[in-house]
Amino acid sequence: MHTFITQNIETNFLDEKNEILILVKNVHLHYTTKKSFTGKVITNFKAVDDVSFDIYKGETLGLVGESGCGKTTLGRLLVGLLKPNAGNILFNDINISQANSSQLTMLRRKMQLIFQDPYSSLNPMITIGNAIAEPLYVHEKNLTKIQIKEKVIYLLEKVGLSTNDFKKYPHEFSGGQRQRIVIARALILQPEFVVCDESVSALDVSVQAQVLNLLNDLKKELKFTALFISHDLSVVKYISDRIMVMKEGKIIETNTPENIFIQPKNSYTQQLINAIPILKNYSN
């Protein structure tokens, strides 16, 4: 028998009055895995298979499923790093799946991705101050060096680091601290939408708790919308307002965390629940 942590975020994102930030309609992304000698496609791998859903402004939507189910591919589609074979992805009524390069440049100011591995996400030859500032150099070219440094220091302090850390290098920080740095870099442009792709899976459980609480606090203060991707249903339950369960490229169930855990509608969801080995206490 499992005991689960209690969701500690007030949620009302199933209310019809909530505004849709991202609309995903009948999205497909298939990869060719085998061709005949004439070049005809024989078999495809359906990474994302006819997926439709909405993300509401201000919510954290959890996306959970086993490795290889298409979670990361879907996250990359949402921020325009991949283009679907079919279907549409609308962000504030802009069709990402049909956006040109200038539109994508504009969208990338508003959409950011936090990667899984805090060790490979940072260049060991660049100070963390410059690493966090990199998006500003690309998208905010009118800022002075002093203004850029002020913005970086502000984010450093928000993620629990200090001004003194500005000139340090990645090797001087722990895994949890590096993930805080990666989060600061993703938020430096004040994006509207953030995809967290397995953002705590490389960390110890105690450090996971700190980073999840940090994300919750930053989300409340900076008011961004998030897609939180994980294979760990207990982590997704803690941080999400709604949860989507993905299997073999399809969304098979969407509901509130409480309903997912108390009354799962799909046997695969029940398998994910049964696979959780221990209670994780992420309370503040």
Q: How far apart are the first and last CA of the chain?
A: 25
At residue 35, the 3 state secondary structure works out as strand
Q: Where are the domains of the chain?
A: 20-117+193-274
Give the pTM.
0.86
Q: Are 194 and 28 in contact (CB under 8 A)?
A: no
**For residue range 198-245, what is the model confidence (pLDDT) as tens digits?**
888 777 787 888 889 899 999 999 999 999 999 989 889 999 999 999
E strand or H helix that includes residue 208: helix 205-222
Quote the radius of gyration of the chain (alpha carbons, Å).
Answer: 19
Pick among 3.40.50.300, 3.40.225.10, 3.30.9.10, 3.20.20.70: CATH of 20-117+193-274: 3.40.50.300
User: Going residue by residue through the chain (284 aa), what tens digit of pLDDT does each one get?
Assistant: 333 333 433 344 455 457 999 999 999 999 877 776 776 766 788 999 999 999 999 999 999 999 899 999 999 999 999 999 999 999 988 999 888 888 888 888 899 999 777 777 889 999 999 999 999 998 888 999 999 999 999 999 999 999 999 999 999 999 889 989 999 999 999 999 999 998 887 777 878 888 898 999 999 999 999 999 999 898 899 999 999 999 999 999 999 999 999 999 999 999 999 888 654 555 54
Q: Which backbone phi and psi does 71 adopt, to 5 degrees?
A: -60, -55
Q: Are 64 and 276 in contact (CB under 8 A)?
A: no
Question: What is the Cα–Cα distance from 25 to 191, expressed in whole angstroms?
Answer: 23
Q: Which backbone phi and psi does 158 adopt, to 5 degrees?
A: -65, -35
Q: What is the DSSP string of 42-105?
A: EEEEEEEEEEEEEEETT-EEEEE--TTSSHHHHHHHHTTSS--SEEEEEETTEEGGG--HHHHH
Q: Which are the contacts of 42, defined by CB distance < 8 A and separation ≥ 6?
A: 34, 35, 36
